[in-house]
Chain A
């Protein structure tokens, strides 16, 4: 622990990031620019999330990292080890025991409680980016609340596929004001964003933006009157724990078309199995 400052970043940098976080919390959904640092990992591996986690971690925290819901994938393991080594904080895989959870692409199935912080890794924070390439213009659109373009994207989805085919990074409106990209979480998780007891922080390292949702914020997924938002998932029970209410990954298990569906949230699945629940594919 002598070779690194606590949680890797120097104190001035953490102050700067905390200031951006506080600003983000006071203006829910607004993208706050911050001076993102080079981190000892490539962009796209969660440099934004890591910086936000580093800024909010305290020595007493218990840290959990999930990648697509799983605690045991490369990204999750490497970031967890990173903070074990540089901050010496306790780590866990149990959602309810963690005080800071860094996540990529999922919100844990188990409802979070007050006092917890959920940190998202965000690749592209600007929901309007693929429709309007100019940053100067998207900023103006945010400041003037011109969000018609966002519906053009949904319109295109329906005209091409017959339904809103956007299934992840589904745009939301925060407190009736800012349109926000919830990071590439499946739209199944969108309803959990609103009215959540935990603090939600979003960090985009390459794009140098931080935004946030304070607890119990109103978050509405955009839709059309005649094509309402629907939180969809694979229509199967989990093969391991039998859960019917969790988001599932589809696994190809042989080259004969065999497949199984399992919870993407490994902690949720394991806890259910430990409690005696069994799916049809469980050994």
Chain B
């Protein structure tokens, strides 16, 4: 089986400071990879390098494209990379406001990616948008409302719908549950788990919340100071952490 995404030796420096250093891993179709670590450990830098938002100083991000097979997305031309960004890839921001157009209705937000890839039939776009709102548990009657009138959890679900409408194969998520209260978090996680399983999505989830990776991720990487200190199956890493930092991380979780 060929990996969907193959990351080799990704390094990003901010001057003398290391963002992330020499990160390599393979992600297979249908697999969910979690990246955990404390603030400033380089997990967001790594995610942005992989998603093409930042250019790494060294390394390769090889993606198995639908048309041309395996391609290094870093050396790929910008139009190709941006095309990938609105078709096969999706990016869920921590703050829904970063990923949504707040001045555009929910339907328009979901439809934007469809129109960006050339859909020009209003009725079809609207039907698909309504369908996707239903899938993320937003009432169809809200299709013409702006996201500013939505609650935080709804905005986050809208952002997910907007990203998944073009049927991407790989989803990057940056702290998708950050800033939501626990009951809303639980519902969102439930929804995400369902979507990932139903659609056979591959996903890379960056978070500092171990519960999120426990629920969603098949595999886990623990990062500290820009480097991967431990990687393995989620249960294995969380139940039997080997590295001192992983042990600290796992033991830091409050038990209620």
Contacts and interface: CB of A to CB of B under 8 A. Distances in A.
Given A155-B107, A156-B105, A148 B115 contact: yes
Q: Is chain A's interface secondary structure helix, strand, loop, or mixed overall?
A: helix
Interface in B132-180: 143-144
Contacts of A160: 105, 144
Given A148-B115, A149-B112, A156 B121 contact: no
B190 interface: no
Contacts of B144: 159-160
B122 A152 contact: no
A255 interface: no
Nearest to B112: A152
Nearest to B107: A159
A152 B111 contact: yes
Contacts, number: 54
Interface in A120-157: 131, 144, 146, 148-149, 151-152, 155-156
A143 to B, nearest CB: 9
Q: In the complex, which range does the number of interface residues on chain A fall in?
A: 10 to 19
A224 B122 contact: yes
B122 A226 contact: yes
Nearest to A159: B144
Contact of B78 (A131, A144, A158, A226): A144
Given A146-B82, A152-B115, A159 B108 contact: yes
Contact of A152 (B82, B101, B120, B121): B101
Interface of B: 78-79, 82, 86, 101, 104-105, 107-108, 111-113, 115-118, 120-123, 125-126, 143-144
8 contacts: A131-B104, A144-B79, A148-B115, A152-B112, A155-B107, A155-B111, A156-B104, A160-B105
Interface of A: 131, 144, 146, 148-149, 151-152, 155-156, 158-160, 224-227
